[in-house]
Structure formats: C-alpha cells, structure tokens
Structure 1
Amino acid sequence: MKRIKKFGVYQTAKVSGIIYFLIAAVFMIPFGIISSMFGGGNFPGFPFGGGFFFIFMPFLYGIIGFIMAAIGCLIYNAIAKWTGGIELEVETVDEA
C-alpha cells in the first residue's frame, strides 16, 4: 500500500485550474458560436454582448477551479495529518 501524505497545493491547483478552463472552453465556445448564429446570447451587463460572455466563462471556470482545488488541498493536508491520508494500492507494470 502507498499513502498520499500531502498534496502540493500550488501544483495541484494549477493543473486543476487548467483542466476546468479546458472543459469549459470545449463547451462554452461552440455554444457561444451556435447561440450567436441564431440571434441568442444577449447578456446585459457584459460588454460586447454574449460573445464576450462565452469567451469570459472558461477563464472564470479556470480561476474558480484553481481556488477550489487549492482549498481542497489545504483541507486534505490538514485532515491527512490526523488520519494518515488516503491509502492506494499501486502496481508496477513491465513495458514489454
């Protein structure tokens, strides 16, 4: 058994933020293009209408993903000190 003793907060949050950004971009950018083709996407309060909204959202998701992953890592690291952390069973695979 292997045990996760601690997460690197910054590195884990950085990777998580990028993943959140990419997932949001995959869905939001095409949705914004399709929405603008059919006359939708008028979001009051956003400069340049809906186009800006759909470009802005992946960045917002990435920032929120970064912050939430950092908070999650800090909480895990604190709890792992008391409980010993999560145990994993790992296996070495030969590349033949």
Structure 2
Amino acid sequence: MNQDPYQPPQPAPHLPPAFGSHGQRSIKRLKRIDPVIAGTVQAVIMAAFGLLYVPFGLLMMFGGFASGDAGGIGAGLGVGLAIMIFAPVLYGLLGFLSGLLAAFVYNVAVRFTGGLRLEFEDEF
C-alpha cells in the first residue's frame, strides 16, 4: 500500500458509491416546509429587495427640492417618503404571503409526489 499521505483516502470497495473521497453523501427527502418560517424568510428577503427603492425615493425628494416650486417640493417629498417607507414594507408583506402560499402548496403537493430528494455531503 504505497499511497501519498497528502491525498484523501479512497473509498473502500465494499462501500456504496454514495461514499466519496470528500465526505459521506446522503440523500434525504424534504417532506414538509413550515409555512410561517418560509413566509418569514421570504419576507426578510423581499424587504431587503424593497430597500433598493430607497435611493429612488431620495432622488424624488431631491428632484422636488431642486424644482424650486412649492408644488414640486411637496410632491417630491410626499412621493419620495412614500417610496422609502412603503416599498420595503409592501415587499416584505407580499414576500410573507408568497412564502406562506408556496410552502402550503408544496406541503399539499408532497402528499402526491413524495417530496424533493436532496443530496447532502458531509465535509471534513
């Protein structure tokens, strides 16, 4: 047995092919997703995307101030603040509802399909 000690060990011949040189692999089936947790995760992700609209709200506000017109200042301030406040909140709310619905639909579909098969590998 003249193996290089710096190379990972090779799998034994009697082990199934799911055992590799980088770790043990296992296949698991996803049977259920908690809808509230899925909704919460989706809400956080979508609220973060909603924060991308904050610079556009600031531009609307500065555009209204730059116009010098009293109506433009009020409109720019109002629309800018509305975008900065309501975009993340609305995106978060819609994200929660879509995550909740997607998890519910998955949980119903898994009864007929058996669930997703996911492959994991343990790292050493």
**CA distance in structure 1 between the aligned counterparts of 2:86 and 2:50, rounded to whole angstroms:** 10
Equivalent in the alignment of 2:68: none
* C-alpha displacement of 1:71: 0.6
Percent identity over the alignment is 32
**Secondary structure of 1:90's match?**
strand
- Root-mean-square deviation (CA, aligned residues, Å) is 2.0
The alignment of Structure 1 onto Structure 2 pairs a total of residues equal to 89
- Give a deviation string over 1:4-47, Cα, whole Å, max 9, x none: 1100110110111011001111x11111112221238x48xxxx
Could you list the runs of 5+ residues in structure 2 that have no partner in the other structure?
1-26, 65-71
Unaligned runs of 5+ in 1: none
Residues 58-69 of structure 1: pairs in structure 2 closer than 5 A: 58-69=88-99
1:93 match: secondary structure: coil
1:31 aligns with 2:60: no
Structure number with bigger Rg: 2
Does structure 1 conserve the Cα–Cα contact (< 8 Å) formed by 2:57 and 2:81? no
Using CA pairs below 8 Å that are at least 6 residues apart, which structure has the higher relative contact order? 1
Normalising by the residue count of structure 2, what TM-score does the alignment of the two structures yield? 0.65
Give the whole-Å Cα distance in 2 for the aligned partners of 1:30 and 1:11. Answer: 30
Matched, 1:11 2:44: no
Code of the residue aligned with 1:59 in structure 2: it is V
